[in-house]
Structure 1
Amino acid sequence: MKPLKIFQVDAFAERVFTGNPAAVCVLEEWLPDDSMQAIAMENNLAETAFTVKEEKGYHIRWFTPEVEVALCGHATLATAFVLYEYYSFEGNKISFYSEKSGPLAVEKGENGLLTLDFPADTLQEVASDEKLNEALGIVPLKTLKGKTDYLLIYSEEQQVRAMDPNIFLLNQVDARGIIVSAPGVEVDFVSRFFAPQCGVSEDPVTGSAHTTLTPYWSEILNKKILSARQLSRRGGNLSCELRGSRVRISGRVKPYLKGEIHI
């Protein structure tokens, strides 16, 4: 097999070494699933995205080092950047399709800003979970459940920033991930995202989590357009907009690496 091109870029980043790193492979045809999983494990990043051009757009799939996931925002943003920068995609909108999440899109705006168009999550308030509370060390104001993730709401940004969760206990919670969030000091809301069951103890910046966060904070703050910051060590800024049943999530991408895979 001839070498495969691979790109690594930082999504939702104002400069390199911030935001969330993602690997991207643009394929002529799909590799076997176990090969894509092995590449993702070798990359050891939160996600590696694979995409193949089809008649109506680009079919996209995402893998953590351990599993394939149903939706990934930052790696989709990264894939769009790679198609624009290295594959000469023309036009200001790239249509993606995921078998697990349906139609997705990324639009290119002014000054390099890229915007995801994703389905909004549906939320339901649930009873406070003792195992979650023990793992996170702070009892939340509210506990909500989306399609795949828990969302826990706290009163202050500093509670989210200082949180030091017990990852072993979090790994026993039946959910893709756990989002913790609070009103922000300089932005509308802040968050962090923990996903040990997917092999990611803490994700630096999580686009898909903002399909859950945006509907919640839009209703609480009575705003359709919101500013957000994810408080991981790398950190990242996002602009979010609720449009009916869709969420638009905007950020910048910085290139880091391009190379070849030999398998």
Structure 2
Amino acid sequence: MKISPIRMELTQIQREILTALINLQRRESRAIKGEEIASIIDRNPGTIRNQMQSLKALHLVEGVPGPKGGYRAITAAYEAINLDGNDDVVDVPVIRNGSPVEGATANEITFYTVMRPNQCSGIVQIIGNIREFNVDDEIEIGPTPVNKTHIKGVVTGRDDTTNRLLFDIKEMTSIPKIPVKNLARPAITIDPDLSLLDACKKLVDSKARAALVGKNGDLRGLISMEDVVRGMAEGKEEMPVEALMERAFPSVKANEPLHVAISKLGKTGDCQVVVVDSDVPTGILEATDLIRYMIRF
């Protein structure tokens, strides 16, 4: 016989315990000890144990015996705090006044004013403890998993019963989820024996800022306009391209989303990334193309 959960309003501490339990359970994929929950929501471990008995009676939590035991939230617990138990586990960081909030992740963001030019506000549901948030605290949320949205704002209110924060948005950025191949330019290839001067002419004629260096299918490196200009300024215009090319360069798979390419450019400091399709370099994505695309939004 299937036992349905008793329908009743949860107390605030019960909601805090369930959200902390679910957050840890999703992250760790194991039973969670009461002491771990107590640490996250800043409560006495004895209080957690007492409340767990009530949550067991409500058929929201089950106990797991043994040295590695603890507590597990069951499906009804997700429903009780309006979460989808089938969602993939994704942590969306939450930062308060410059410091990450341990054990907290953003579950749902709703915008309720977007038409006013000088004001944009929203509501974020937090899995974890929100009691340390106060009005006028600075908050950062993100990046989110799909469009890599990152939000900065100021807290304007707190609803402890639903674990939601109200906030005014000060800054918001988002990276569209499109594959890098949609923005990449077809790669041109320069013979490694070509002089820097001739390579410069080829780049200019092709309106490209970088080219692959190779011969007969043998890819040897990458040469950028910056490399060419630097070499020519040093009087090396007749030197072969192979002498000044970059032998190591960042690459990204053609179907990867834009944020992967942006992350690689940010880490390496390069101005372009080579796009690879089925292990074959097919294009080059330049930072200027990314900037040009992003300013459309």
TM range (shorter): under 0.3
Q: Which has the larger radius of gyration?
A: 2
Instruction: Output the TM-score relative to the length of structure 1.
Output: 0.23
Relative contact order (C-alpha < 8 Å, sep 6+): which is higher? 1
More helix by share: 2
